[in-house]
Structure 1
Amino acid sequence: MRNMAGLLVCVLAAAAWAGIDAQRARDLYEKVTPSLVVVQYTYDGEVGRRELAGAGVVLSDDGLVMTTIALFPAQIANSQMKEFKIIIPGDEEKEIPAVFLGRDERSDLAFVKAADKAAHAWVPLPFEQTKLQVGQTVCSVGLLPKEAGYRSYYAEAFVSAILRGPVQHILVSPDGVAGVGSPVFDEKGRAVGFVMGQQGRGVLLSETRTPLDRVNEPPRFFIPTQEFAISLLKPPTEKEPVRVAWLGAVLTGIKKEVAEYFDLKGTNVAQVGDVVADSPAGRAGLKTGDKIVAMDGKPLERGDDPEEVAQILLRKLRRIEPGKTVVLSVLREKDKPPLELKVKLEPQPRQPYEADRFYAEDIGMTVREMVFADIYAKRLPPETTGVVVSFLRPSSAAQTARLQPGDLITSLNNQPVTSLKQYETAFQEFRKANPAEAIVVVVTREGATQVIRIQPPQ
């Protein structure tokens, strides 16, 4: 703890030589710290309960808090996340019950809100959109891990590069920015960005194995405000979760020889791959092989890599309000004018983390409802029914029987599986009548069908 305190002094004092006056750095540090909180929840998994915590930023005076979506991995189902809290750091830590408002896949953020807005005098932090320049000094204020009492700390660097892509990233000098979940400021003290989850950089403040990694190996990237402004303007609420728009088609970059054949060299193009039947793309008439050259009359954008054109277009589409119509300009045949296809976007299908689950403790296996992604990935007929294996406890009966995560169970003890509820009821009734007998399931895996016998421990 003494080492942590010394480290805090060192990183704050570093501001004097890094570009921002030491007094201004201290003033910003003191001003921002009350807006930094800890978002904590309990992961109630099959093998036990675990508290997970990450950094968050207060956005409004009624206790709305933003954090990174990386704190809520897609492998964790919504139903497994419980007991949300907002922790106010300080000598007397204050825990405030909170409500999870949801993941926001438009911007890779997540939001929670205090159950009682009057439980604390919230200090919101406003974010501003501004254009950053290479060489510009930026600073950030973040939270140290639980072992250090969630103390706030200051970091400073300068912009090294501005990277285009599906999401614009700002690369900073090796000094880095504060940990994941921290706001980033310009020389004027304006909040101009946010440190998102990134590979190799820890998200959890509750992780005690490597508590100093946030400082010793700081993140090198942050996202400018304009990349997540849509989520600040319209965050999810308890009554209205975020709806992400869905096209229903795979988009890729275009190969060089194809671009040359269609006289598209130097043009930003997204090529259509698979088109889902009865999807917005399918109903609009998009076909595999189509070349999209414009949306709503505007040329497509490119990133630093031409292959990113398709990803940028998909991200733009996902940020449009479901129910709205866009016009895609599509080349289908050489030397013919583009087709103008009207696509009415829909909300994306239910995701695996939204699906209900059932855990059979005696055989150590969790199954969940089927969602569209399962049918699409496995190339199954739309009318297919069953449940999907989502978890196997190590050394359990189900794992010993060689089931695998992702297996589709279509039959249980010679009875077709029509829904999760039907499977759960059939399993429980069988187990009650036959406590020691094996169950027999029919599994679809990589297009092949297997019959697997699962013998519970005797």
Structure 2
Amino acid sequence: MFVARAITAWRKKMRPRDFSAVVLLCALFAVLLMTQTVRAQTHPLWLQGDPSDTDPDLERLNRAFIRLAEKVRQAVVQVRVEPTKARGSGFIIDPQGYILTAHHVVNEAKEIEIRLANRQRVRGEIVATDAQVDFAIIKINGEGEFPVLPLGDSDVLKVGELVGSLGYPFGLESSLHVGIVSRRGRSQNSSAAFDHIQVDSPANSGESGGPLVNMKGHVVGMLTQASENRTIGFAVPINVIKALIPRLLTGEKIVWGWLGVKLSELTLELADGLGVSPVRGVLVSSVLADQPAGRAGVHSQDVILSVDDIAVDRPSEVLRVIKGTEVGNEVTLTIFRSGETFVVPVKLGNKPGALDDNEG
């Protein structure tokens, strides 16, 4: 009441022209306020990107990766295993539902569930497996026509070549990684002796068994290992797997070779003591009694320089050839002993039991 009387008294004292000016000023302020509100709604805080602002070369590369993902992912599956709770990936190689995956994913499986790209979940069963190469063939139970991935030629891969890997990381949706071949895998003289293909793209938990593909969408490898921080992936060359599939499908049991020695790195001090110059080769730490190497005349403190003419400098390089050669086959060891170099042929036998990883 007091405020109303004060305003009325103020208006009586104010001249009409002054009052009109005040009203006009208020109206202009209101218009300005509305204009700013409209401007705030019309012009957002961010800068909207122009869809036409593209680099033609990058856009073509972008479309190529999109086509690759769409082409490949339809045949990539997730593999779930009970009771181990293992999760991995795989890819369909035959319309009847034959799938390749990693052996370590399905090892000790009692029940296998396969999740297809269309999210359908079906049961599967193991058809054949090989622990040495670390791959398995599983099959979808039931009938159907499934999309497949063609298998390529891993022997023609080149360092620096673009490749893609697909899988189900951490058991989630399928994903595509793109990288380059950092080291090309190769088959060696024996049927399953090989170097892994190394790629500079991640290999996360759950992606073991997934395909490594070239830019044509052809499988050139299967992911089975990763670096400790999982930033580097390792794949079995697909040519190694292709060579074994027909034999495993016929029910043949492949038994890989055993030498019967314990190996270690040849240090500079040991090389000086043994007279090995230049320093090269792998030290035989001990020879197991009544095993192939011992029967062939290999001694403790021998230095293995090569296996089947493949030069070796690490125990893993010797074991790769031995464990990739079938029982009953003969390998040729080039040995350095007491200042002399000579060749020892060894017929490989069966591994007698569970021994440590440096024995082969």
1:94 aligns with 2:121: yes
Partner of 2:80: 40
- C-alpha separation between the residues in 2 aligned to 1:177 and 1:198? 6
- C-alpha separation between the residues in 2 aligned to 1:115 and 1:128? 26
Counterpart residue identity of residue 127, structure 1:
G
- C-alpha separation between the residues in 2 aligned to 1:116 and 1:162? 37
Q: Secondary structure at the match of 1:23?
A: helix
Match of residue 287, structure 1, among 299, 324, 345 = 299
Match of residue 23, structure 1, among 39, 63, 71 = 63
1:143 aligns with 2:175: no
- 8 Å contact from structure 1 (residues 102, 112) kept in 2: yes
CA gap of 1:118–1:232, structure 2 versus 1, over 3 A, is same
Alpha-carbon deviation of 1:313? Answer: 1.5
Partner of 2:219: 191
Matched ranges for 1:40-59 at <5 A? 40-43=80-83, 51-59=85-93
Partner of 1:319: 324
Structure ID, larger Rg: 2
Partner of 2:176: 154
Counterpart residue identity of residue 166, structure 2:
V
- C-alpha separation between the residues in 2 aligned to 1:294 and 1:82? 42
- C-alpha separation between the residues in 2 aligned to 1:172 and 1:333? 43
- 8 Å contact from structure 2 (residues 105, 208) kept in 1: no
CA gap of 1:316–1:261, structure 2 versus 1, over 3 A, is same
CA gap of 1:61–1:321, structure 2 versus 1, over 3 A, is farther
Q: Secondary structure at the match of 2:293?
A: helix
- C-alpha separation between the residues in 2 aligned to 1:254 and 1:25? 46
Matched ranges for 1:237-248 at <5 A? 237=249, 239-248=251-260
Alpha-carbon deviation of 1:315? Answer: 0.6
Q: What percent of counterpart residues are identical?
A: 20
Q: Secondary structure at the match of 2:241?
A: helix
Partner of 1:220: 231
Alpha-carbon deviation of 1:122? Answer: 4.8
- TM-score, structure 2 as length reference: 0.68
CA gap of 1:83–1:299, structure 2 versus 1, over 3 A, is closer
- Greater RCO, 1 or 2 (C-alpha within 8 Å, sep 6+): 2
1:181 aligns with 2:212: no
- C-alpha separation between the residues in 1 aligned to 2:148 and 2:218? 15
Match of residue 131, structure 1, among 157, 163, 184 = 157
- C-alpha separation between the residues in 1 aligned to 2:253 and 2:300? 32
Structure 1 gap segments, 5+ residues each: 1-15, 44-49, 202-218, 303-307, 350-371, 378-458
CA gap of 1:193–1:221, structure 2 versus 1, over 3 A, is farther
Q: Could you give the per-residue CA deviations for residues 315-370 of structure 1, whole angstroms, max 9, x where no partner exists?
A: 11111121101121222222x342x3221112334xxxxxxxxxxxxxxxxxxxxx
Alpha-carbon deviation of 1:94? Answer: 3.5
CA gap of 1:164–1:96, structure 2 versus 1, over 3 A, is closer
Q: Secondary structure at the match of 2:224?
A: coil
Alpha-carbon deviation of 1:271? Answer: 1.5
- C-alpha separation between the residues in 2 aligned to 1:315 and 1:28? 33
- C-alpha separation between the residues in 1 aligned to 2:197 and 2:59? 22
- C-alpha separation between the residues in 2 aligned to 1:62 and 1:327? 43
CA gap of 1:83–1:318, structure 2 versus 1, over 3 A, is same
Alpha-carbon deviation of 1:299? Answer: 4.7
- 8 Å contact from structure 1 (residues 99, 115) kept in 2: no
Q: Secondary structure at the match of 2:158?
A: coil
Tell me the matched-pair count.
Answer: 290
Alpha-carbon deviation of 1:292? Answer: 1.5
CA gap of 1:238–1:348, structure 2 versus 1, over 3 A, is farther
Alpha-carbon deviation of 1:141? Answer: 2.5
Q: Secondary structure at the match of 2:175?
A: strand
Q: CA RMSD in A?
A: 3.4
Q: Secondary structure at the match of 2:226?
A: coil
Q: Secondary structure at the match of 1:25?
A: helix
1:231 aligns with 2:241: yes
- 8 Å contact from structure 2 (residues 211, 223) kept in 1: yes
Q: Secondary structure at the match of 1:84?
A: strand
Structure 2 gap segments, 5+ residues each: 1-55, 187-193
Counterpart residue identity of residue 305, structure 2:
V
- 8 Å contact from structure 1 (residues 20, 187) kept in 2: no
Q: Could you give the per-residue CA deviations for residues 26-68 of structure 1, whole angstroms, max 9, x where no partner exists?
A: 221121122211223212xxxxxx6433111223344332223
- C-alpha separation between the residues in 2 aligned to 1:242 and 1:35? 28
Partner of 1:277: 289
- 8 Å contact from structure 2 (residues 122, 141) kept in 1: no
CA gap of 1:32–1:164, structure 2 versus 1, over 3 A, is closer
Alpha-carbon deviation of 1:114? Answer: 1.4
- 8 Å contact from structure 1 (residues 104, 242) kept in 2: no
- TM-score, structure 1 as length reference: 0.55
- 8 Å contact from structure 2 (residues 77, 114) kept in 1: yes
- C-alpha separation between the residues in 1 aligned to 2:61 and 2:88? 30
